[in-house]
Amino acid sequence: MTRKQKRLSVIAGALAFLGAATGLTFYALGQKASFFYMPADLQAATLEPGQRIRLGGLVEKGTIVRGQGTEVAFSVTDMESSVPVTYVGILPDLFREEQGVITEGSFSPSGVFVADSVLAKHDETYMPKEVADSLKAKGVWQEN
């Protein structure tokens, strides 16, 4: 092998390694992506069993039911439809009825959304951007 051929083989090997690393990175990031849905959007969505999504909307009035320990059941609504949610864990301090919330998790076989994280607004004027935009488009929520 000449010196030029050795250099080209090292460069080709490095490019192949970088290509494989890039491909694996994009594959891993694609597996962790969770898409945002409002309750009304779920009717048209085709979700795979166990697919992680982010569900956002308002906590429906009168649906918060506390179970044993830290188990909580509630519904998320966009005023068109609602989705039942269960969550086991400590809820944010500002979690309450008719306030904006984003939950992350997946649907159980029974059709209940099982959340593993719940995000609530952090002050009186904040509404999560994705939730606010969707509710504004439907004419349900207006900024003060």
pLDDT at 126: 56
Task: Tell me, yes or no, whether 52 lies in a domain.
Answer: yes
pTM of the predicted structure, to 2 decimals: 0.65
42 lies in the same domain as 102: yes
Where in the sequence is the domain holding 16, given as residue range(s)?
1-33
pLDDT digits (tens, 9 = 90+) for 110-138: 888 999 998 876 555 556 677 677 777 77
Structure tokens, 124: 């009186």
59 lies in the same domain as 113: yes
2 lies in the same domain as 12: yes
89 lies in the same domain as 57: yes
Q: How many domains does the chain have?
A: 2
15 lies in the same domain as 72: no
pLDDT at 14: 93
Considering only CA atoms, give the Rg of the chain.
22
**Amino acid at position 80, single letter:** E
59 lies in the same domain as 104: yes
pLDDT at 140: 64
pLDDT digits (tens, 9 = 90+) for 39-70: 888 877 777 777 888 888 888 889 999 988 88
Q: How far apart are CA 72 and CA 64, in angstroms?
A: 7
Q: Looking at residue 40, which CATH number applies to its domain?
A: 2.40.50.140
Confidence check: pLDDT of 12 > 90: yes
Structure tokens, 79: 């005023």
Confidence check: pLDDT of 11 > 90: yes
Binding-site residue set for heme: 122, 126
3 lies in the same domain as 73: no
- The answer to whether the beta carbons of residues 86 and 107 sit under 8 Å apart is no
Binding-site residue set: 122, 126
110 lies in the same domain as 46: yes
Where does the pLDDT of residue 91 fall: very low under 50, low under 70, confident under 90, or very high at 90 and above?
Answer: confident
Percent helix, strand and coil across the chain, each to the nearest 5: 30, 30, 40
29 lies in the same domain as 42: no
% the chain with pLDDT above 90: 24
Q: Phi first, then psi: what are they for 47, rounded to 5°?
A: -105, 140
